[in-house]
Amino acid sequence: MQQPSPQYHRHRHLTRAEIRRRRTRRAVRRVGVITALLMVLALGVGFVSGRMGLPAASADSSPAGSLASSSAVTTPGASSAANGGSSAPAASEPAASSTPSAESILLGGMTPEEAAEMLADPLMVLVNHHTQMPEDYTFDTKECGSATAINKTLQTEAADAFLAMQAAAAADGVTVWMQSGYRSVSYQTTLYNNKTQQYLDQGYDEATARELAAGIVNPPGYSEHNCGLAADLNSPEFTALEEGFENTAAFAWLTEHAEEYGFILRYPKGEEAEAVTEITYEPWHWRYVGPENAARINASGLYFEQYIETLQKLAAQGA
């Protein structure tokens, strides 16, 4: 297989077997998360009913109780659910809304209306192997790339945020470059067709050639770079878009500060993350969602796909 050309970085897709294995592990983990959530809910209900003088049905089972409180540390919604419960007694609320849903808890006590609003934010657009960028998704772009960058622009808001972030990093003595940003769908089409042609030339049939090509270059509209919100970042100390970027001062700085400027690490490290994103760890690929959204997403501990899915479920509860 050929080395990817420098015009684009390669997303290494997981093989089908890898995806299957990781999905199984993810399913096992999900059961754990749901169990923990139910325990947190039980604790919250127990807390409310305790205040109302009712017997606390489930909070007194000590193994469950201790498990629930330890899981509450990693579940940001847990404390706000308990607070919401205590400040708004269930009796004064309609029955349906007295107990926050698991999705609401996962999202820090968000309401279905807030979830719908966040989903409608163009900065929250989901683009991945399974979800094509909407055809009516339009935006203005602005240059913010380094001298050596191939694709120098991002959506204007994201470019301004990147430039502010770059200046802040520089003030801390850290150089961050934007190496590859917005790629038009037509540019992506060219990349994809060229790659497909290479496989056709090797004698593969059309369907196989397209599938093999898709393993190297995202089909048009399926790359997050098509929406102008994805930025491949590097630094003078490490210019390659490779995993070694994680050992740079630039990456350390980004890990600490990117959220303040609205960027999240889109393809995090680890099998759980890779099972969800279906992309191997990319310390260089950062996604602009805006500072407020970035803080919410990071606080949830969910990966972007999971966050969107949870928002959709919560929004549907208000419909």
Other CB atoms closer than 10 Å to residue 24's CB: what's the count? 11
Other CB atoms closer than 10 Å to residue 243's CB: what's the count? 13
Residue 248 or 310: which CB sits closer to Zn ion? 248
Q: Are 154 and 141 in contact (CB under 8 A)?
A: yes
Residue 10 or 210: which CB sits closer to Zn ion? 10
Q: Please name the amino acid found at residue 5.
A: S
Residue 285 or 296: which CB sits closer to Zn ion? 285
282 is catalytic: yes
Residue 39 or 126: which CB sits closer to Zn ion? 126
Separate counts of helices (H) and strands (E) for the chain: 12, 6
Task: Burial-class residue 19 by CB neighbours within 10 Å (0-12, 13-18, 19+).
Answer: middle
Q: Which of 16, 4, 9 is nearest to 224 (CA)?
A: 9
- Count residues binding Zn ion (CB under 5 A): 2
Residue 232: CB minimum distance to Zn ion, A? 4
Q: Are 286 and 59 in contact (CB under 8 A)?
A: no
The only residue of 103, 114, 157, 232 in contact with Zn ion, by rule CB under 5 A: 232
* Inter-CA distances, 123 with 80, 263, 293, 294, Å: 26, 11, 9, 10
Residue 104 or 234: which CB sits closer to Zn ion? 234
Question: Is residue 114 at the binding interface for Zn ion, with CB under 5 A as the rule?
Answer: no
Residue 114: CB minimum distance to Zn ion, A? 30
Residues 84-113 that bind Zn ion (CB under 5 A): none
**Using CA atoms, how far apart are residues 13 and 271, in angstroms rounded to an integer?**
13
Residue 107: CB minimum distance to Zn ion, A? 26
**Minimal CB distance residue for Zn ion:** 285
Question: Is residue 187 at the binding interface for Zn ion, with CB under 5 A as the rule?
Answer: no
**Using CA atoms, how far apart are residues 285 and 266, in angstroms rounded to an integer?**
6
Residue 285: CB minimum distance to Zn ion, A? 4
Residue 114 or 232: which CB sits closer to Zn ion? 232
Segment (H or E) for 164: helix 156-171
- Of the candidates 18, 246, 282, 305, the residue annotated as catalytic is 282
Residue 297: CB minimum distance to Zn ion, A? 18
Q: Which of 169, 138, 127 is nearest to 289 (CA)?
A: 127
Residue 116: CB minimum distance to Zn ion, A? 29
Q: Are 259 and 266 in contact (CB under 8 A)?
A: no
Question: Is residue 285 at the binding interface for Zn ion, with CB under 5 A as the rule?
Answer: yes
Q: Specify the stretch interacting with Zn ion by CB under 5 A; choose among 171-179, 225-233, 245-253, 273-281.
A: 225-233
Q: Specify the stretch interacting with Zn ion by CB under 5 A; choose among 72-80, 85-93, 135-143, 231-239.
A: 231-239
Which residues of the shown chain bind Zn ion in the complex (CB under 5 A)? 232, 285
Active-site positions read 282
